[in-house]
Amino acid sequence: MKLYFIRHGVTQGNLERRYVGCTDEGILEEEKEGLRQKGQALPKMDQAFVSPYLRCRQTAELLFGKNQTEIIEDFREMDFGVFEYKNYQELSGNPDYQKFIDSGGTLGFPGGEEPEYFKRRCRQAFQSCVQKSWENRWNHVGFVLHGGTIMAILEAFVYPQRGYYEYQTGNGCGFVCRVADNGDEEKYDKRYIKLIIEEDIT
């Protein structure tokens, strides 16, 4: 089984380098044709799992059409709290932001979500999606997600392991992963998913 992890198309907040978490903005109009063409170059998906936010739903429809998509609530991007929809320039001089930077991004966001909680909910949702994919014997499964969601999943399940930020990817880009053989599918244990990255989606 192959899994296709694709980050949503560019939004205005992305252009302005803002922390776009729970802000539910759509992708830019000029992004759409390129995503349609990218979708035509991908295999037909048996199923696609998608974040509930508009930017991901729009991207999934452009890539894969309206059919065979399922919204997964726990794939939403991290809640950035008081940093939400602000950029570096607007946060410069904010002591809470400086603490966050100094921590290497490990501290929680004031008024927002703890990074470890965010990672855990994304990973648990992903495990459920893989289990469903095995049960239905799907071969090609798409995931249209946020950058942070992709990083949280791949950090936990890709072999050999790498750090969270090493899985950063551009808008409309991502990774093709193969689920490593776990033996008899009837005895598949969703706790022990191992992914191998086969290629980048650019």
Arithmetic mean of pLDDT, 3-21: 97
Close Cβ partners of 112 (under 8 Å, ≥ 6 residues apart):
21, 78, 79, 80, 81, 82, 83, 84
Report residue 39 as tokens. 């979708």
- Of all residues in the chain, the percent with pLDDT exceeding 90 is 81
AA letter at 110: P
Domain 2-201, architecture per CATH: 3-Layer(aba) Sandwich (3.40)
Which pLDDT score, from 0 to 100, does residue 147 have?
97
At 53-97, the pLDDT tens digits run 999 999 999 999 987 899 999 999 999 999 999 999 999 999 999
41 close to 51: Cβ distance less than 8 angstroms: no
DSSP 36-80: HHHHHHSPPPSEEEE-SSHHHHHHHHHHH-SSSEEE-GGGSPP--
At 114-165, the pLDDT tens digits run 889 999 999 999 999 999 999 999 999 999 999 999 999 999 999 998 999 9
Stronger pLDDT, 9 or 67, i.e. the higher one: 9
Stronger pLDDT, 41 or 66, i.e. the higher one: 41
- Output the pTM of the full model: 0.92
Backbone angles phi, psi at 64, to 5 degrees: -120, -5
Examine the pLDDT at 19 and tell me if it is beyond 70.
yes
Stronger pLDDT, 83 or 185, i.e. the higher one: 83
Residue 105 vs residues 97, 98, 102: alpha-carbon distances, Å: 10, 10, 8
AA letter at 107: L
20 close to 14: Cβ distance less than 8 angstroms: yes
Per DSSP, what are the bridge partners of residue 6? Answer: 144, 174
Which pLDDT score, from 0 to 100, does residue 119 have?
96
Domain positions in the chain are: 2-201
At 98-116, the pLDDT tens digits run 988 888 877 888 899 988 9
Residue 199 vs residues 55, 119, 135, 177, 202: alpha-carbon distances, Å: 24, 23, 25, 7, 9
